[in-house]
Structures are given as structure tokens and as C-alpha cells.
Amino acid sequence: MTGLAIILSISIGGLGALLVASATAFRVIKYIGAVYLIYLGVKVWRTADTGVVTEGRPDAASGWTRFRIGVFVSLSNPKAILFCVAFFPQFIDRTRPIAPQAGILLATFCVIETCWMFVYAGGGARLAAWLRSGNRMRWFNRASGGVFIGAGVLLGSLRR
């Protein structure tokens, strides 16, 4: 959510218009995001035989590391910027001060998105218990890694 809030704030501030106007800037951000998705996919695929990363293992990521990774993934998504440029102006009255309106829109969006993240986390907690039995985690990691790699390749190969 931190990364998304940063992106939406920057987008409201004008970066979104720049990306819409500049094909080069859009492509640079798109390719950075594509490469990072492929990197994450390979990393997840490689953990397929090791199971769930648990606390106490030397390679277990700290909370701060996971936070930084999540922020970077959010920041590398140019579609969030374009979403903001396309969606938010519909709800802004140009005859009134824009900053308070943008702040309310941003806060509302973040609250709604946070609620959905809690729903996803709750489902993930239930899914984790099911994945711990048998070879399910290995296949889940391979499927997830494949999806990340596919998304990265697709993002990198699609035109604007």
C-alpha cells in the first residue's frame, strides 16, 4: 500500500500526464517492471523444492526486507499511474482547490484497497495451512513463479 500510495500521489502530481505523453518514459518503467517480475518469478520457481520460507532459516526475509520488496513491486507498475490519470480526474471539480480533493480520493482509495488486502491475507493464511501438506507447496511455487515470469514477458512484449 505504501508503494501504491506513492505512485498515486506522484501521478496526481503530474507524472501520470508525463507517462501518457512520453512513450519513452512509459517504456522504461514498463521494462524495469517486466525485468523485476521475471526476477521474482525465477526466485519463486527456485524455492519450489525448499518449501515455505520460515523464520529462523538463514535466507528468511526480515519484515523490513519484505516491505522493501513490496514497495519496489508497487513502484515498478506503470499501470497504476495510468489508472490514476484515467480514473481520478472524473471525481475532481476543477473550480475548487485540487489538493484537498486529491487527498480525499487518495485516502479513500487506500482505505478500500487496504480492506481488500486484509481479505487476501486472510485467504492466504488459510491457503498456507493447506499448502504445507505433501508436494503442494512445490507445485504452488512453480505455478506462481511461472505466472510471474509469464507476466513479466507479457508486460515487456506488449505495445502501449
Please state, in angstroms and rounded to a whole number, the distance separating the CA atoms of residues 28 and 17.
Answer: 15
Summary count for the chain: helices (H), strands (E): 7, 0
Domain extent listing, the chain: 2-51+60-157
Distance (Å) of CA 151 to CA 50, 144, 156, 158: 23, 10, 8, 10
C-alpha cell recorded at residue 139: 507445485
Write out the chain's pLDDT in tens, 160 residues. Answer: 898 888 888 877 776 666 667 778 777 877 887 888 888 889 888 885 555 444 444 445 788 888 888 888 888 776 777 777 777 777 878 788 878 888 898 899 899 999 998 999 899 888 888 887 778 888 888 898 999 899 889 888 877 5
Q: What is the pTM of this model?
A: 0.58
Query: Cell 502530481, residue?
Result: 13
Q: Are 12 and 102 in contact, with CB atoms under 8 Å apart?
A: yes
Can you give the pLDDT at residue 114? 92
Can you give the pLDDT at residue 100? 87
Can you give the pLDDT at residue 49? 53
Please state, in angstroms and rounded to a whole number, the distance separating the CA atoms of residues 107 and 5.
Answer: 9
Please state, in angstroms and rounded to a whole number, the distance separating the CA atoms of residues 88 and 10.
Answer: 13
Please state, in angstroms and rounded to a whole number, the distance separating the CA atoms of residues 48 and 35.
Answer: 20
The amino acid occupying position 80 is: A
